[in-house]
Amino acid sequence: MISDIQSAKEGIQRFKQQRAEKAMNAQKTQGRPTTVGSSSAQTQTTSAIRTLEKPEKMVKQSATSAGKKNIKLAGKEAAKTTQRSVKTAEHTARASIKTSQQTAKAAQKTAQATVKASRKAAQAAKK
């Protein structure tokens, strides 16, 4: 049982490592500009710097533009949800007010009936 758990952990570690290596390779191949001819050390260093900077810019631009759309949609949905919850709260408040009013009226009628009955009982006792 313990060996199964350890082998599973090792398999997960290998998978994570392979996935990280694939991601690194994909980043390296994605950001490289293709240059023909020049092989000086200075050109190689500047192109390496460009490859490091360019993917970040692209990611930032795409993230901000995508974020704006997501924010707009999320804002609209949040507004709709808020409106619904406000309407529900208003409806619930109205219902609870009606219920409390009806309860108060019923209690008042009960009190009046009790007073009437006690008066009748008092008059009957006097006679």
Q: Give per-10-residue mean pLDDT for the chain (127 aa).
A: 81 88 81 51 50 51 55 71 89 93 94 93 86
Cβ neighbours, 10 Å, residue 120: 10
DSSP state of 37: S
Please report whether residue 67 resides in a domain.
yes
Residue 70: its pLDDT value, please? Answer: 57
Please report whether residue 14 resides in a domain.
no
Q: Give the span between the Cα atoms of 106 and 104, in whole angstroms.
A: 5
Please report whether residue 22 resides in a domain.
no
CB 33 within 8 A of CB 49: no
Please report whether residue 37 resides in a domain.
no
What the block records as the tokens of 62 is 């795409």
Please report whether residue 27 resides in a domain.
no
Question: What is the C-alpha end-to-end distance of the chain, expressed in Å?
Answer: 95
Residue 78: its pLDDT value, please? Answer: 76
Residue 27: its pLDDT value, please? Answer: 78
Residue 118 belongs to domain spanning: 62-127
Please report whether residue 45 resides in a domain.
no
Total domains, the chain: 1
Please report whether residue 48 resides in a domain.
no
Q: Which amino acid is at 101?
A: Q
Indicate the burial class of 72 (C-beta count within 10 angstroms; 0-12, 13-18, 19 or more): exposed
b/e map of 76-101 (b: 16 or more CB within 10 Å)? eeeeeeeeeeeeeeeeeeeeeeeeee
Please report whether residue 33 resides in a domain.
no
- Angle (nearest 5°) at CA 117 between 112 and 122: 125
